[in-house]
Amino acid sequence: MRYGVIGTGAIGGYYGTKLAYAGKEVHFLLHKDLEYVKKYGFSVDSCDGSFHLKEVNVYGNTKEMPPCDVVMVGLKSVNNHLLKTLLPPLLKEDTLVVLIQNGIGLEADVQQMFPNVQLAAGLAFICSAKTEPGKINHQCYGYINIGNYSCKNQQIINQVIEDFRAAGVDANEVEYEEARWKKAVWNMPFNGMTVALNTRTDLLLQHPSTLQLIKDQMMEVIGAAQACGVKNINETFADKMIYNTIHMTPYSPSMKLDYDFGRPMEIEYIYTRPIKEARKAGYHMKKLEMLEAELRFLEKKEETKCV
């Protein structure tokens, strides 16, 4: 299968280069580091084994790229409006678009843009950063779950999972709604709290008061998911997420990096949308509503500073 990657950052870049290194045909859309990667290729410094890709299919415009069987979207969700022009050149009749993004409501909105396109969620569990041109630092974890949103051809989903596994990436198919909300159990507490308190994941869990607050926020997400009809999600999952985070490399989540570098934060899909969905179901995430308000304040403060 032919793969395309839109949003070749720390996450999309990692999964795309893993597939390419394993011999799959992968085409990357790049902007800032296009010329660098054309000249030097991609370097991945990984806890699972570092590697370098010298020859890479890179482009500055999707109109130059070939139609793909699978398009992996690693864009920040604040840029999803760009998909209206970025995606069409890559689409065939049966193309599968995998949104490797964080939040709730992503697929529903993209489906409105492209009613006939097959969509799946890509739930990445990975600590990875891209702070230099053409260089990805993969710190720990790395598996990806695929949740089918509107793909009618199960064989495509199966092939994507098989290709990931052949590339050394642990991949599995999961139930869509359950997977999106389970990802939110980690994302909603840690992304916002590292920004609001200007800290890292490990430090949040070392202090008893913030550890308890993280657990309370996780339980709010679980309560919201249950109110929305999601199965197989309870306190045990929150305990597992906390345990895994304690034992992973100290980490600044994507929202913290975005805030530190003056980029827009993904507040809409990580906070506003799930909070709205919970309210529709009669559930209020009070602590996370407060965190959302704090993030909106910081966002406005940064915008004012830029003006």
Residues 58, 5 contacting (CB under 8 angstroms): no
**Residues, the chain, total?**
307
With CA atoms as reference, report the closest residue to 254 among 7, 11, 5, 8: 11
With CA atoms as reference, report the closest residue to 53 among 5, 91, 124: 5
Q: In the block, which residue shows the tokens 């049966």? A: 94
Report in angstroms the alpha-carbon separations of 169 from 48, 80, 156: 10, 26, 17
With CA atoms as reference, report the closest residue to 284 among 199, 213, 219: 219
Residue 26: strand pairing partners: 3
From CA 285, how far away is CA 279, in angstroms rounded? 8
Query: To which H or E segment does residue 65 belong?
Result: none
Active site residue 76: no
Q: In the block, which residue shows the tokens 């679980």? A: 222
From CA 164, how far away is CA 173, in angstroms rounded? 12
Instruction: Point out the catalytic residue in the list 130, 135, 182, 183.
Output: 183
Q: Which residues are catalytic?
A: 183
